[in-house]
Structure 1
Amino acid sequence: MPTWRKCMILFVVSWMTLAVTFSSTSLLPATPEIAAEFGTSPETLNITNAGVLLAMGFSSLIWGPMNNLMGRRNAYNLAILILCACTACTAVSVNLRMFTAFRVLSGLTGTSFMVSGQTILADIFEPVVRGPCIGGIIVTFASWRIIYWLQLAMTGLGLVLSLVFVPSIHEESRSSSDDEEKQKQKEKRSFLHLISLFNPVRILRQYVYPNIFLCDFTCGLLSTYMYATLTSARSVFNPRFNLTTALVSGLFYLAPGGGFLIGSIVGGRLSDRTVRKYIVRRGGVRLPQDRLNSGLITLLGVLPVSALVYGWTLQEQKGGMVVPIISAFFGGWGLMGSFNSLNTYAAEALPQKRSEVIAGKYIIQYIFSAGSSALVVPIINRIGVGWTFTICM
C-alpha cells in the first residue's frame, strides 16, 4: 500500500475518533442551557452523558461481531451512517427523552471507530512507526443544537472519506486461497458461528492475562481523571471566577485540548523512539512492553503533580485562573503521553486477539468514564475539588 494512502487512512481513522469524542464532550459547556430548555438539572444531564459513555464502552460487543459478518469496511461505514442519523435526531430533539435516547444510540457506535481504527492502523503500519471549546463558543452565540449539526457535518465528511480510502480486509491481506475463503464464508452463515461471534466471553476472557487487565485498568483510571476534569470544569470555574457565559468557561478547554495535542505528538514520537532503542539493546529483538517505558514519566510524574496543583489551587482559591489552566494543560499532556503507550501496547500485546483486547480495554475505560462523568460534580459539592482530584490522581 503506498505511503500516501496510509496517510489518508490515518487521517480518516483519526477524524472519526475525533468526531465520536466530540459527541461525548461537546455538550459539556452547554449543559446548563440544555438542562434549562428541557426543564431538568445539569446533574441529570451528566447522568445521561454517563449513559452515552457506557453505551460507547459496550458497543464493541456489537461491532466486533459485525466486522466479522459484514467485513470491517462495511461495518465501519454502517457505524458512521448510524452516527450521522442519531446526531441529526439529537439536533432536532423536542424533549429530554428523545434527546437522551438518540444520544445513547449514537454512543452505541462509539468504540467501533476506535477498535476498528486501531486494528486498521496496526495492520497497515509497522510496529515501530505507529471539541469542548467549540461547544462553549456555539452555545454563547447560538443554540446548543448547532453543536450537533456541526457533529453531523463532521461525521458526514468522515463517511465520504471512509468510503473512498478505508480498505477492506481483502485489500490488507490477499494471502487466503479460494478454498479457504469459501470455507470462511460458509462458517459465517452458520447459526452457531453467529452465536459465538456475539458471545461477550471472547472479549472478557482476555482479562485473565494480568498484563492485559492491568493495562486496561490503568486506562480506566486515566479516563476517570480526564472526564472528571472535562465534566466539572464549568461548574467549578463559573462560581469561583464569577463567569456568566459558556464562552469564557468553554475557552478553558483549550488548555487540556492543547495538552492532548502536544502529548499525542510528542508521546507518539517518544514511544517509537523508545521501541527502537530497546530493539538495538537486544540486538534486533522487539517486545510489545517496550512501549510502556515511554509513558512512565507522564504516568508517575506529570499527571499526579498536575492533578494536585489543579484541584488544590481551585480549592484554596490560589493562583487565580492562570495556575489551574496551566496545570490542566500539563494534565492533558500527561494523559495523552500515558494513553499513547498503553493504547499501542494493547494493540500489540496479543496480535492474534488484537480486536478483542482493544474492545476489552474500551469496555473498562468507558465504565470508568461514565462513573466519573456522573459522580464528579456531586462529589466535588460534598468533599471539595481538592480532595476529589486527589482521589482521581
Structure 2
Amino acid sequence: MYVPDLQSAFSLSPSTPDGKEKDRDLVTWGAEDSENPHTWTTAEKWKMTLVVGFMTLNATFASSAPSAAVPIIAAEFGVSNTAAELTTSIFLVGYIFGPAFWGPGSEVLGRRGVLILTMLLFCVSTIGQPLAPNFGVFIGTRLLAGFFAVAPLVNGGGVVADIWDPATRGLATTIFSTMIFFGPVLGAVIGGLIIPSYLGYRWVFWVIAIFAGCSTLLAIFVLPETHAPTLQVQKARRLRNLLPAQFGTKYAATEREHFTPRALFERTLLRPFTMLVREPILLLVTLYVSLIYGCLYALFEAFPIIFTMTRDFTVTQTGLIFLFVGFGALLATIVDFWQLRGQDKLLAEWKGSPPAERRLVGAMIAGPSFVVAIFWLGWSGQFASVPWWVPALSTVLIGFAVSLVFNSFMGYLVDTYLQHTASAFAALTIIRSLVGAAFPLFTTEFFLAIGVGPACSVIGGVGLLLAPLPFVFYRYGSRVRGRSQFAPGLDLKLKAMRDAERNATGSA
C-alpha cells in the first residue's frame, strides 16, 4: 500500500505563487509536498492507473460476458427470450443510476473509500446471480451489480486527473479508456468459451465475482486516496491532532464549506445533470459516445444473426469473432500513442496546459472510419454467400473506430474539466448506459425485421450525421470552453495574457 511521507504534513505553503500573503492557517500543497499526488513517483502513478484500469475492465467485462447465455437463461427460469435479454440491459440500467452517486460522491468523500466499497458490493451482488433460485432474484442482483460496478468507470478518469500532469495524462487516459471498450469485447469472448462448455452459464458469473474480488483486494492494498481536497482535509486533521497548540487552527478549504442539505444535493447528485444541461461540449460528446456505445452492444445481438444463424457458427466460434474487434482496439491504442508524440514541445509552449482540442485528432479519424465499418459489416454480413472473413474483417475497423472515439473524447473531457472530471464522466456514463441498455432490447427484432444490411445502414447514417462533430469541436471548442463555469481553461487564460502583453508591446 502506498503511504505518502508524513514529513509533508508540515509543508503549509503560507503564500501564493505571486508572493501575496494569504491565510496562514489554510493547509495547501507546498512546492515539493510529498502528499500532493502530482509529486508521487511515476511508478506509483502507473500502478494506480493500472489498478483503476483493471477495475474498469472488470466492470465492463461483466456487462457482456453473459450475453450468449440468453436462450439458456430463458429455459432455466421459464421466461421468454425478450425477458432473458434483460441480463445485459438491466446491468446497464444499474450503470444509469450509479454514476449520480459515485462520481460526485467521490468529489466529496474521496476516491479510495468509494471505490473499495462499491467493488466489494459489486462482488457480493454478483455472487447472487449463480445462486439465484428464481428469475426475480437473478435480475435484482444483476441490477445491483451494475449499480456498484459503474464506480470505476466514473472515478477512473478522476484518479487519472488527480495524479498525472498534462505531460503524461494523455497516455494514462488512453490506457483507462481502452479498458472501458476492451472489457465488453473480452467478456463476449470468454462468455462464448464458458457458456457452451461443461461448466455451464452460471460459471460466467463466478468468474465475474472472482474478478471483482481481486479488484477489491487491489483497491484495498494498492490504491491510496488521490483526491487533493480530501487529502488536504486529512492533512489538516492530522496537524491539529499531532500538535494542537501549534496547529490547532489549521484547516483545509473544504472544511469551511458549510453545505445545507440542498447545497450538498446540488453538489453531488444534481451536478452531473447540471453540467449536462449547461455544458454544450459535454452534451454533444455524450450524444456521440452514447451512440457509439449503443452500437457496440448492438453487435452482441447482431453477431449471432450474422455468424450463427446465417453462417452456422457455434456460440464459441461467434464469440471468437470479437477477437477481431479487440485487435482493432489495439490498433487504435497504438495510433493514440503515436499522436501523443511531441508532447514535451507542446507543454513547454503552453506552460503545462495545452489546449484540450489536441486530443480530438483521433476522433476525427474514427468518425468516418466507423461509418465505413458499419456499412461494410451490414452488407457483407447480409448474404450467406459472402465468406465469413469479410464481415469479420469489418469488425477490426469497428473496434479501431469505437476505441479511438473513446480514447479521444475521454482525454478531451479530462483535459477540459480537470477537477470536475468525475462529474462529467458521471453524466456521460448515465446517458451512455441508458442507450446501451436500450439497444439490446430491440436490436435482434430490428435486424431480423428489415435485414442486417438495411439495419446497419440506419446506424451508419446516424454515424454519418455525427461524424463532423470532432471537427467542429476542434475548430470552435476553445470558444465554448471559454464560457464554461466548470472548465478551468488554463490555456485560454495563458493565451489572454499573451495577447494582452502583445497588445501592450504594440501600443508602446
Provide the TM-score with structure 1 as the length reference. 0.91
**Structure 1 residues 11 and 172 mapped into 2: Cα distance closer, same or farther (>3 Å)?**
farther
Deviations 1:95-117 (A, max 9, x none): 21111111111110233111111
Q: Aligned AA for 1:83?
A: F
2:281 aligned with 1:225: no
Q: Please state if 1:214 is matched with 2:280.
A: no
1:54 maps to 2:110: no
Compared CA separation, residues 7 and 147, structure 1 to 2 (3 A): same
**TM-aligned CA deviation for residue 149 of structure 1:** 0.8
Shift of 1:150: 0.7
1:94 maps to amino acid = P
For the 8 Å contact 2:166–2:352, the answer to whether it is kept is no
Task: Check the 8 A contact 1:203/1:357 in 2, yes or no.
Answer: no
CA distance in 1, matches of 2:51, 2:352: 33
Which is further off, 20-29 or 48-57? Answer: 48-57
Cα distance in 2, alignment partners of residues 65 and 201 from structure 1: 7
Q: Which has the larger displacement, 65-74 or 318-327?
A: 65-74
Aligned amino acid, residue 83 of structure 2: T
> Partners of 1:193 and 1:158 in 2: how far apart?
33
- Tell me how far apart the structure 2 counterparts of residues 328 and 170 of structure 1 sit (CA, whole Å): 38
Looking at both structures, which has the greater relative contact order when contacts are Cα pairs under 8 Å and sequence separation is at least 6? 1
SS state of the match for residue 128, structure 1?
helix
**Whole-angstrom CA distance in 2 between matches of 1:119 and 1:67:** 9
Which residue number corresponds to residue 261 of structure 1?
330
Give unpaired runs (5+ residues) of structure 2: 1-39, 171-186, 237-248, 461-508
The answer to whether 1:375 aligns with 2:431 is no
State which of 188, 191, 195 in structure 2 corresponds to 1:139.
Answer: 195
Q: Greater shift after overlay, 329-338 or 29-38?
A: 29-38
1:384 — aligned with what?
A: 451
Partner Cα distance (2:190, 2:327) in 1? 13
Which piece of structure 1 moves more, 383-392 or 125-134?
125-134
- Contact kept, 8 Å, 1:111 with 1:359, in 2: the verdict is no
TM alignment of 1:93-112, pairs within 5 A: 93-112=132-151
Does the aligned pair in 1 maintain the 2:276–2:282 contact within 8 Å?
yes
Question: Which residue of the other structure, out of 272, 276, 285, is the alignment partner of 2:340?
Answer: 272
Aligned to 1:152: 209
Change (3 A) 1:155 1:188: farther
Q: Supply the distance in 2 between the matched residues of 1:77 and 1:282 (Cα, whole angstroms).
A: 37
Partner SS state of residue 150, structure 2: helix
Go from structure 1 to structure 2 and tell me whether the alpha carbon gap of 1:321 and 1:171 turns closer, same or farther (over 3 Å shift): same
Separation of aligned partners in 1, 2:401 and 2:312: 29
Taking the aligned partners of 2:277 and 2:205, their CA distance within structure 1 comes to 36
Residue in 2 that maps onto 1:299: 367
Query: 2 CA distance for matches of 1:81 and 1:99?
Result: 18
Q: State the distance in 2 between where 1:3 and 1:338 align.
A: 27
Distance, in Å, in 1 between the alignment partners of 2:269 and 2:223 is 27
Cα deviation code 1:141-199 (max 9, x no counterpart):
12111111111111111111111121214679855673574673575786445433444
CA separation of 1:49 and 1:204: change in aligned 2, threshold 3 A: farther
Specify the alignment match of 2:431 in structure 1. 364
Pair 1:83–1:120, CA change in 2 (3 A): same
What is the CA-CA distance between 1:367 and the residue it aligns to? 1.5
SS of 1:5's equivalent in the other structure is helix
Structure 2 CA distance for partners of 1:18 and 1:170, relative to 1, 3 Å:
closer
Report what 1:311 is aligned to.
378
- State the SS of the aligned residue for 2:215: helix
Larger Rg: 2
Query: Aligned equivalents of 2:209 and 2:158: distance in 1?
Result: 25
SS at match of 2:46: helix
Query: Is this contact kept in 2: 1:88–1:148, CA < 8 A?
Result: yes
Report the CA distance shift for 1:276/1:310 in structure 2 as closer, same or farther (over 3 A). farther
1:123 corresponds, among 162, 174, 197, to 162
Identity %: 25
- Give the deviation of 1:69 after TM superposition: 5.0
The question of 1:338 aligning with 2:405 is answered yes
- Conserved 8 A contact 2:275-2:282: no
Q: Which residue of 2 aligns with 1:203?
A: 273
Check conservation: 1:219, 1:365, Cα contact below 8 A.
Answer: yes
Cα distance 1:314–1:255, how it changes in 2: closer, same or farther (>3 A)? Answer: same
Give the counterpart of 1:166 among 223, 226, 233: 223
Give the deviation of 1:85 after TM superposition. Answer: 0.4
CA RMSD across the alignment: 2.6
Of residues 409, 416, 420, the one that matches 1:349 is 416
Structure 2 residue 40 is matched with structure 1 residue 13: no
Normalising by structure 2, we get a TM-score of: 0.71
Question: Which range is displaced more, 193-202 or 302-311?
Answer: 193-202
Which has more helix, going by share of residues?
A: 1
User: Which consecutive residues of structure 1, in runs of 5 or more, have no partner in the other structure?
Assistant: none
Looking at structure 2, the residues matched to 182 and 83 of structure 1 have their Cα atoms a distance apart, in angstroms, of: 33
Specify whether residues 52 and 173 from structure 1 end up closer, same or farther in structure 2 by C-alpha distance, changes over 3 A only: closer
Measure how far apart 1:206 and its partner are.
3.5
Counterpart contact for 1:278–1:290, Cα < 8 Å:
no
Counterpart among 358, 374, 399 of residue 290 in structure 1: 358
**Residues 1:283 and 1:61: Cα distance change in structure 2 (over 3 Å):** closer
Aligned residue type for 2:295: Y
- Kept in 1: contact 2:359–2:408 (CA 8 A): yes
